[in-house]
Structures are given as C-alpha cells and as structure tokens.
Amino acid sequence: MRNDAEIFGAESTGGASNDVGCEEFSLYLGRCQVDTPHDVVGAVWAQVKQRRSAVGKVVDFGAGDGRFARVPGYRSYVGYEIDPRRTHGTEKLLPRNATMRHLCAFAEPVHDADVCIGNPPYVRNQDLPEGWAEMAAAIIAERTGVRVSGLANAWQYFFLLSLASTKADGLAALVVPYEWVSRPSSKALREYIKSNGWTVSIYRLCDSTFKKVLTTSAIAIVDKADASGTWSYFRLTKDGECRPNRSPTGTRSKVLAYTRVAATALHAKRGLSPGTQDVLVLTEGDRVRFGLKRGRDVVPCVTTLRPIEYGEEDFDEELFRDKYVLAGKRCWLIRTDRQPSQALSDYLDSVPASEYQTSTCLSRDVWWKFTMPTVPPILIASGFRQGGPKVAINSVGAAAVGSVCGIYGVKGGQEATVVRSISSYDFKSRVVSHSNGLMKVEIAQLNTVLATL
C-alpha cells in the first residue's frame, strides 16, 4: 500500500481489458494493496447471514487472495482477481466450491449472483490508467443507466458492478470508504440505489481498522429484497459492539448541505494544485540556495494551517516569517505569470524529469507553467480535528495551495466578521468523518455556511 494512503482496502487489482491498461492497472495495484483484516471479513459475512438463511452463488469482484471465500456457508463462490501473484500459494486454501478467475472483473457479465461481497480497490480517479475509467463507465452505463462522475474513484465502479450483477432479490456486502454516504462524487451511486427502493445499512468501522489508511471505512449492505428503501447508520466499536447513529455524521445533526454560489458572492475556492509541491513550492532554504527573489521569482503561499493556533485570526508577516519561513515550511510558490528570471530558469532546468512525473505536469505544454491563483482575503483549512477548521485573515497575501482553501467575495472591512463567524460554527457535528479523528469540510459545504453570513 502507498504511504500517502491513496489506496483504501485494495483487496483486488481491479481490472481492465488489455487494450485499456490492464497490465498497468494490475502492476499499480500490486504495489498498493491492503489485505482486509480477517475480523472485518467475518463481520461482513455476519451481516450477510443475518439477512440470508441460505446463500447461493457468491461473486467477489475484488478477490485478492480469496479470503472472503474461506468463510463457509455458501453454495458456490467465484472470485475475480486479475493478478495471479495475489493468489499464488493461497488457491489451495480455497474450498472445493470456490473458484478464482484471473481476469478483469468487467471482462464478462454476471447477472445471477445471490450475493456480491468483498473489498473493492480504492484508486483515486487521477491515478486510474488511461482508458480504464472510460471502459468501466461505458459498461456501467449500459447495465445500470448510471453515468459515473469523472471524479469517481475505482471502488465506485466496482460497487455499481456489484449491484448490476446481483439478482433482483440479491445482496451487496462491500467494504468501501464511509464518505460515499455524503460526497457529491458518489451522488449518482446513492441516487441509483434510492431510485430502486433498496434498503441500505452502513456500518462505520473504527479508524484503526486499516493501518496507515487515511480514509474512514465502512461495511455497506444493499439489500434488493427489502423494498422499504430505508437507510440506516451504525458504528462498530473496537469491542465489536454495534451502535446505531441517527445520521451519517454520528450526531443528531444532518450532513451539512452542499451549495453552489455565484462567483461574485461570498464563496470558498479550493487551493491551487500546482502539479507537484515538491518542486514548485519551495522552502526558504531552497529559495536562498537557488538565488530566487521574493516578488520576482516566488510569492508567499501556504499549504497547511497546522502551524498556527486556533484564535490566531490574522495571518500576518510576522506569523508567516516565524512559523513558515524560519520553520522551514514549503511557503514559496514559483511565479508563472511573467518571463522567468535567469535564476528561476536555472532552477527549473535543474529539476530532474523524474520529479515531475504527475498527470497534471505532464498534461501541460510546459510542465511547470500553471495559472497563478488569485490571492484570497481569507485562508481556511479543509481538514480539522476540533470544532471546525482554522481560518485567518490573509494579511500577508499568501496564495492558498493544496488543502488550504481561500474565501473570496469578502466586502471591504468584513474580513474579521467572516473569520469569527466561521470560527464559531459547529462544523464537527455536521460533516462526515474522514479518517483517524480528522474531519474534512467540502468547498460546497463551506459555501452553505458562507451563504448565511
């Protein structure tokens, strides 16, 4: 698994036909897999057996080493695992009524599964091999009518494939990111389930279930046989207890709504994604070493608000110098809106090609030439652990980069009022947990709050 936790619960290597990057997809996931803990496998099966006294055909589109097949109580099991290395030495552990197929999960249609079970691969949409998402999306659209969002990660395709592959009274039991219950990128999936009137039960797992995975996970049960259409939420504790939740937030409050606002109104905007912060956002040491000048070559920026304290409402020159510049933080964004000086040209020429092999950089005519962002009057973090995100007036004029967002459309002299209003808002009870106690508010959710100011 990747240390940056871009893969969540990748039991399988997913799939794609050979003409759309199958081998690339297989090799990528082979480096990034996290096996499902056996107690989670057992918990998933327990939910299945509570709902079905007899289990016929089971299909697992993310079979990995076949560990979901090793729990008895079904008539037959078919696991799809594109990478034979994942099952080397483990297929002999499979029961006689279980088989493994080493091909893409999307390669052949399945329509007769009584239960679809497993832990689909969690690959970010940005990291899916070229052509794979288009292939999978076309199959999903044909079989379900759902048009998958271009922001969908790999597990959504597998989730929809599982729903399409079960019988009219079938059951899907999958380990997926908990965020699917509220994120806009999963809206098409949720609406598809709701339009069919299927009943959903979601069991949020402990954040420590998957080591080093920075995404809260959950067991999602979609029961086609139950046409009540209800959605129920639960939390599984470390002690194995199952506690009901009134809302996906885990509190009495509903999930904070998502709002679109006009560009002229008070609104939030995501921080710049330059392509690679490692070489396009510099530390003070980098700036001095390459002879780059503030204003001419680089401008102040902020990629995190973690160094500042709650209550520090003015992000001024002194705070920037002490907690970012002198602390060695990445705080200088290169300028791309003017002809580079000789010093900046020399620096950019010195960067090895291996250090900017990202899809964003490689998609540009000039790998480093991003559009310079507009400096926001207010800076705000997207992630937080207390009652809400840190927020501060941007007196230093820093560009918002990465997980730091900007608030725009602020009327002159109203910055302090906006900052204090946001600081006093109880975000924690209104957003879905991201991971390990970390909460994350989306841009459109911030806009909901800003619309009330």
Which neighbouring-strand residues pair with 70? none
Residue with tokens 């480096």: 31
Look-up of token digits 């092999």: 357
Confidence class for position 421, pLDDT limits 50, 70, 90? very high
C-alpha torsion 9→175→430→245, nearest 10? -140
Q: What is the pLDDT of residue 436?
A: 66
User: Taking a C-beta distance cutoff of 8 angstroms, is the pair 383, 404 a contact?
Assistant: no
CA atoms within 13 Å, Cβ hemisphere of 3:
0
**CB under 8 Å to 349, separation ≥6 — which residues?**
none
Q: Identify the top-confidence range among 112-126, 237-251, 262-276.
A: 262-276
pLDDT in tens, 96-149: 999 999 888 999 999 999 999 999 988 777 777 778 889 999 999 999 999 998
Closest Cα partner for 158 from 108, 122, 194?
A: 122
- CA–CA distance, 296 with 370 (Å, rounded to integer): 16
Which pLDDT value is given to residue 1? 27
- Residue 8 pLDDT greater than 70, yes or no: no
User: By the 8 A CB rule, do 10 and 118 touch?
Assistant: no
Q: Which residue has the higher pLDDT, 31 or 384?
A: 384
What are the tens digits of pLDDT across the range 342-370?
Answer: 999 999 999 999 999 998 999 999 999 99
Could you tell me the pLDDT band of residue 34, with boundaries at 50, 70 and 90? low
pLDDT at residue 24 tops 70: no
pLDDT, averaged across the chain: 88
Tokens 């899907």 belong to: 172
Helix (H, G, I), strand (E, B) or coil at 446: helix
pLDDT at 207: 60
DSSP secondary structure code for residue 412 in this structure: T
Which of 114, 175, 180, 174 minimizes the C-alpha distance to 149? 180
Q: Catalogue all structural domains in the chain, each as residue range(s) with its CATH number.
A: 18-245 (3.40.50.150), 267-450 (no CATH)
CA atoms within 13 A on the CB side of 382: 20
pLDDT over 70 (residue 95): yes
pLDDT, average across residues 378-397? 95
Using an 8 Å Cβ cutoff, are 282 and 355 in contact?
no
- What is the residue-wise DSSP string for 87-129? TTTTGGGS-TTEEEE-S-TTSS----EEEEEE------GGGSP
Q: Using one digit for the tens of pLDDT, what is the confidence trace for 167-226? A: 999 999 999 999 899 988 899 999 999 999 999 999 999 765 445 544 689 999 999 999
Instruction: Please give the pLDDT value at position 264.
Output: 85
Mean pLDDT to the nearest integer, 6-28: 38
pLDDT: which is higher, 213 or 289: 289
